[in-house]
Amino acid sequence: MDTWLAQLDDGSGWTEQERALRDGEVSPWQRLEELADETGRTVTIAVVCLGRVTISLEAEGYPLTCGQTVVSHRETAQVYLKWVRREEQDRWVWRATDGKMAWRVVTPPGDPLHRHIRI
């Protein structure tokens, strides 16, 4: 499985494959953020699934975002990661997976994940 799921503060659940999130030129996550903003809602929890690994992060009152990235590994290979990030004022908390393993990483705000993750 390769997807994310999110729950809004009204209890509604959304997945990356929702048709309503695929109508535009932005990513499904960005569209979910737009829809939540338009209705005065916030994302309370995000779950990311890749391979056999599922990771999640609760908002705890801070913005959440989901994404994916490719990280170079030992200069010869690239690893595909899916992640969820909570953007706190003084730090960003990340949960990431390559489908086999999972990581929790804390970075200064604005720092990219690949600078702090060891694969």
pLDDT digits (tens, 9 = 90+) for 72-114: 766 668 889 999 999 999 999 999 999 999 999 999 999 999 8
Task: Identify the domain containing residue 25 by its residue range.
Answer: 2-115
Angle CA 12–1–86, to nearest 5: 55
Residue 104: count of CB within 10 angstroms of its CB: 11
**41-54 tens-digit pLDDT:** 999 999 999 999 99
Structure tokens at 1: 């499985």
How many structural domains comprise the chain? 1
